[in-house]
Amino acid sequence: MRQIVTRDVFVLIGAGSTVFTPGLLRDLATSETFREAEVRLVDVDRTAVETMAAVGQRIVAAHGSGITVSAHTDRREALPGARFVTTTIAVGSAAGWRSDLDIPARYGIKQTVGDSVGPGGVLRALRHVPELVAIARDIASLAPDALMVNYSNPLSANVRGIVDYTGVNAIGLCHGTMHTRSALSSDLGVDPELVTATFAGLNHLCWLLDIRTAETDLYPRLRQLVDERAQGKDAAPNRSEGVHAPVSADLFRTFGLYPAPGDRHVAEFFGDYLGNQGPVFEWGLDAGHDMTIEYIDEKDSLWEELRAQAAGTAEPVVEASQEAERFVSIAEAIASGRRDVELAVNVPNHGAIENLPLGAVVEVPAVVDASGVSPVAIGRLPDGVAAVLSARSLQQELTVRAAMERDIDLAVQALALDPLVPTTAIARSILTDAIDAGGFRPAAPHSHPYTKRSGAQ
């Protein structure tokens, strides 16, 4: 009798991601666990997904792997039989992200990233949550046993929408805490592989609870280095993470824990670091803003490189590294049954952090094995930290509802509750501009009473 071989099926939705998709394909191509896997790439842009498939096929061939890579524009065609589904969608593409920065800027609001919190994070959630919920509903229908792993920002709001509205088995992944651990380990003069760290909080504001080697508690030395090297307000711009970062140092002094992942992200959770006066960012944060603009603008050049790799006129990058994107390592643990401990996953809070709201999507360590991804119970966070995170998680819950119900009033409330938005009038103006730009489609006709504003209020 002929033996039937079952192949693990990976579906990547939003496969036009210029950085994530090639990296994931490299990680899969070097995985012994998934040498015979099937990878189905999905994107609404046929040219983009076919280019990525061609790049993937070259990467797989370079490693002598038995993986097959195919291109699809219809996710429902690709989903049946999937064991793992990743989402890296960007509704509105780079132009949408740029508008998330530009619209608030008309009203004097500065953002360094604008993809998770701040008014830009709210606007992005209004676009992304409904589409990700629609994807999750297709997963529930066509691949109900699959693990859905979302990378699209705003990560917390997106995962919350997916879980609340579909019940699909879903987690969110972000490499931010890993980068912070590596940067701090380097500053401390310790090999990152020898460092054990525990982080807990929300995505892009996750707090270092413990850092040590087998022999030494490193937190006292970290505190000393931060005091020695971190500059204060008006620090010179610096793009790298580490003990010199002034905003992270100020939060460390205020709350007693070091935050991750870097000044450009954590600053947006608070109302005072970005400032509302003048064109110059304070606390050296102009470098973080510049990094975001450069990242948005480099998409065209990245596509030129990928097209050359697909055509065979340039060699694809074949080196794999799971240090940043942990998806393949997690999938290997589930498929093989080995037990791993992941530094940070984003999951609904069902007691992992005792003093944050139930259901809030929190970033915590997790045990991964054949049974899936199980968050580690952290206990209570310090009251001040919990207060900041609780307020933000409740705002995210409101944002998810606004997105799913396409409710103008809830969307205005979500914007008005953000610390970077100084007045409700500005919140209304931002939403009006987003509606006019096609970034949000309210359920009711666009005849609301909000008047457009120009300039800061």
**CA 43 to chain centroid:** 19
Taking residues 284-304, report their average pLDDT: 85
User: Residue 228 domain-assigned?
Assistant: no
Cα 391-440-273 angle, rounded to 5 deg: 40
Confidence class of residue 318 from pLDDT cuts 50, 70 and 90?
low
Residues 6+ apart with CB under 8 A from 71: 15, 41, 46, 49, 50, 52, 53
- pLDDT for residue 320: 57
Taking residues 168-174, report their average pLDDT: 97
User: Residue 35 domain-assigned?
Assistant: yes
User: Residue 71 domain-assigned?
Assistant: yes
**Catalytic positions:** 175
User: Residue 190 domain-assigned?
Assistant: no
CA-to-CA distance for 240 and 226, rounded, in angstroms?
Answer: 14
Give the chain's mean pLDDT: 91
Between the alpha carbon of residue 409 and those of residues 392, 393, 427, 448, the distances in Å are 18, 19, 11, 10
- Expressed as residue numbers, the domain containing 73 is 9-172
Tokens linked to 267:
């600053």
- pLDDT per residue as tens digits for the range 97-113: 999 999 999 999 999 99
CATH number of the domain enclosing 102: 3.40.50.720
User: Residue 124 domain-assigned?
Assistant: yes
User: Residue 192 domain-assigned?
Assistant: no
More confident residue, 52 or 310: 52
- pLDDT for residue 454: 37
- pLDDT for residue 445: 60
Residue found under tokens 């990547």: 12
- pLDDT for residue 281: 77
CB 327, CB 24: distance < 8 Å: yes
- pLDDT for residue 203: 98
* C-beta atoms surrounding 352 within 10 Å: 22
Of all residues in the chain, what percent carry a pLDDT higher than 90?
78
User: Strand ranges (DSSP E) for 99-204?
Assistant: 147-150, 170-172, 196-202
In the chain, count of helices (H) and strands (E)?
Answer: 16, 12
User: DSSP 3-state assignment of 375?
Assistant: strand
CB 281, CB 110: distance < 8 Å: yes
CB 172, CB 151: distance < 8 Å: yes
CB 47, CB 16: distance < 8 Å: no
* Strand-strand pairing, 205-212 and 68-72: unpaired
Tokens linked to 37:
């896997």
User: Residue 389 domain-assigned?
Assistant: no
- pLDDT for residue 89: 94
CA-to-CA distance for 426 and 314, rounded, in angstroms?
Answer: 48
Closest by alpha carbon to 332, among 11, 18, 25, 32?
A: 32
Of all residues in the chain, what percent carry a pLDDT higher than 70?
93
Indicate if the pLDDT at residue 456 is higher than 70: no
CA-to-CA distance for 296 and 291, rounded, in angstroms?
Answer: 9
- pLDDT for residue 29: 92
User: DSSP 3-state assignment of 199?
Assistant: strand
* C-beta atoms surrounding 375 within 10 Å: 23
Tokens linked to 110:
């500065």
- pLDDT per residue as tens digits for the range 357-407: 999 999 999 999 999 999 999 999 999 999 999 999 999 999 999 999 999
**Number of structural domains found in the chain:** 1
CB 318, CB 59: distance < 8 Å: yes
Residues 6+ apart with CB under 8 A from 425: 453, 457
User: Residue 250 domain-assigned?
Assistant: no
* Strand-strand pairing, 205-212 and 258-260: antiparallel
Residues 6+ apart with CB under 8 A from 167: 140
Tokens linked to 275:
């400032």
Query: What is the CB-side half-sphere exposure of residue 84 using CA atoms within 13 A?
Result: 26
pTM above 0.85, yes or no: yes
User: Strand ranges (DSSP E) for 203-320?
Assistant: 205-212, 258-260
- pLDDT per residue as tens digits for the range 200-245: 999 999 999 999 999 999 999 999 999 999 988 878 878 889 999 9
Q: What is the radius of gyration, based on Cα positions, of the chain?
A: 22
- pLDDT for residue 280: 62
